[in-house]
Amino acid sequence: MDKVIEETRALCPLGDFTTAEDVAAAVVFLASEDARHITGTELIVDGGTVGCDTYGPRGQADGPLAK
C-alpha cells in the first residue's frame, strides 16, 4: 500500500497530496481583505492535478494510474 501511495504522490505536479490545511489557507485568503476584488471565480486547490493528464482527459481513468 505504501508503494501505491508514493507512486500516486509522485504523479502530483507539486509532489504531494492536497491537505485540509491547503484548503483552509485558500478559504482564509478568500475571506480576507486581500481577496476583496475576487468575484465569481473557481479556485482549484489540488496541487495542479486537474490541469495535468495524471488521470487522463476530463478525469477519466485512462491516464497513467489506470495502467
Q: What pLDDT, on the 0 to 100 scale, is given for residue 60? A: 52
For the chain, which residues make up each domain, given as ranges?
2-66
| Burial group, residue 32, by CB count within 10 angstroms (0-12, 13-18, 19+) | exposed
Which positions ≥6 away from 30 have C-beta within 8 Å?
38, 43
Which positions ≥6 away from 44 have C-beta within 8 Å?
50, 51
User: pTM above 0.85?
Assistant: no
> Per-residue pLDDT tens for 7-50?
888 888 888 889 999 999 999 999 999 999 999 888 899 888 87
Q: Report the amino acid identity of residue 55.
A: Y
- Right CATH for 2-66 from 3.40.50, 1.20.140, 1.10.8, 3.30.1600: 1.10.8
